[in-house]
Amino acid sequence: MVAVFIVIAIVVILALYYVGVYNRLIRLKNQGEEAASALDAHLKQRYDLVPNLVETVKGYAKHEQGTLTAVIEARNKAMSATTLEDKDAANKGFSSTLKSLFALSEAYPDLKANVGFLDLQKQLQKIEEQLLSARKYYNAVIKQYNTITEVFPSMIVASMSHFTKKPYLTIEEEAKARVEVKF
């Protein structure tokens, strides 16, 4: 009789543990989806701002059509990406083309002094900062999620419930490169 109560107690404890870990995994999965949605909202702001920026630059840099076309193509490719991994990869390319767009402003002093261009540049910089924060938040949530799916004994619950490790968002290779400062 005592053995039956011990077995029942062990089963109840294991069931409670399973439910607790499962609920935590669900909460973290939902936080990850919310973080990805916030990232999408910031990316949409970025995409909406770029055509205005390109139009402003067009008036000053008519013979730089290749750069302007590359920016628009990269924007369209990033907007059409569907999975988070595809969006991340497309946005790395988009960031590179934006850098080349801002490099044009160095060659055109009138553009560099244009109030509209400066305002758009400030707006884009603010959006980039918000994107960085959103990426950090997403990666923090995914770190917690991945930890639970990989550590013992919660990994047993995760594998039984088909929760798998999720990828982190990374920065583009160009941003990792060492910055050379010359005086």
Asked if residue 175 belongs to a domain, the reply is: no
Asked if residue 183 belongs to a domain, the reply is: no
Phi, psi of 28 (to 5 degrees): -70, -40
43 contacts: CB under 8 Å, gap ≥ 6:
78, 87, 91, 131
Q: In this predicted structure, what is the pLDDT of residue 83?
A: 83
Q: In this predicted structure, what is the pLDDT of residue 122?
A: 81
Asked if residue 114 belongs to a domain, the reply is: yes
pLDDT tens, the chain, 183 aa long: 889 999 999 999 999 999 999 999 999 999 999 999 998 888 888 888 878 777 777 666 665 667 777 777 888 888 888 888 888 888 888 787 777 777 776 766 666 666 777 777 788 888 888 888 999 999 999 999 999 999 999 999 999 999 999 998 876 654 444 434 343
Asked if residue 180 belongs to a domain, the reply is: no
Asked if residue 182 belongs to a domain, the reply is: no
Task: Give residue 108's domain range.
Answer: 2-168
Asked if residue 162 belongs to a domain, the reply is: yes
At 47, which CATH number?
Answer: 1.20.1440.20
pTM of the model: 0.71
Could you give the number of structural domains in the chain? 1
